[in-house]
Amino acid sequence: MKNFFAALWVEMLKTRRSKVPFFTALGFLILPLVSGLFMIILKDPEGAKSMGLIGTKAQLTAGTADWSAFFSILSQGIAVGGAILFAIITAWVFGREFSDRTAKELLALPTSREAIIGAKFVVIAVWTFGLSLVIFGLGLVVGYWVDIPGWSMELLRSATGGVLGSALLTIVLLPFVALVASMGRGYLPAFGWAILTVATAQIAAVMGWGDWFPWAVPALFSGAAGPRAELLGIHSYLVVILFSGIGLAATFYWWRNADQTR
């Protein structure tokens, strides 16, 4: 356990010194800001029409200017945007060890490889979930500032569950990104994997198999295609947990057993 905390300290130092957390936060900040902008447009439909494309898009995305629609955009944005952005974070945490050729410095140490990989996953979980909380919090501030109608504590409770649930479902699928970054020994294969899963999730959802396809579950949970109770069953969550476990186990197994030639 002492070794694990040493590894965690090192991973946190690397994260703190990197510019990646700043840029990922900056990239994700667009979500509540654009959601707020949509609300401003939708509050004034005549103005929205006169704004051309942006007005059309805003109406397609949200429909009406109320807190329910605003939370729905945030939740969908975290599910879909998070799938890409969180994958970038994961690809960086694992893939940088190969790009910087530092992977070989993590192997022959008294601190076990398992402790180091565990520390990486903890950093990714804290980083991505923290980012989701910041986005949600900022969304509340933006919504309050835009003065959206339809607020209720009941809605807040359900929206918190929706937004953070989407984030959590996205995060637990990240071990596969870590595995691909490790096996591919760099960032690029992991980016490719993230794009592939987002694209296939769309196809699976359209074909009606989304409830069985783990990477489609977070977006369906967010309400992107309708009420989640109608789209997902207990089996959907079990599939996500199963694939999360497989990804985690495979990543640990790979770091312990694969030949490290870089």
Interaction of residue 14 with other proteins, rule CB under 8 A? yes
Q: Considering CB under 8 A, how many residues would be counted as binding other proteins?
A: 30
Residue 116 CB, shortest distance to other proteins, in Å, is 8
Stretch near other proteins under the rule CB under 8 A, chosen from 42-50, 68-76, 103-111, 129-137:
103-111
> Which of 33, 56, 63, 100 touches other proteins by CB under 8 A?
100
Does 257 contact other proteins by CB under 8 A?
Answer: yes
Should residue 105 be labelled a site residue for other proteins when binding is judged by CB under 8 A? Answer: yes
Q: Which of 30, 56, 101, 245 binds other proteins (CB under 8 A)?
A: 101
For position 2 contacting other proteins by CB under 8 A, the verdict is yes
Quote the tokens at residue 137.
């919090």
Q: Is 112 in the site for other proteins (CB under 8 A)?
A: yes
- Decide: is 64 part of the binding site for other proteins (CB under 8 A): no
Binding site for other proteins (CB under 8 A): 2-3, 6-7, 9-10, 13-14, 17-19, 100-102, 104-113, 116, 256-257, 259-261
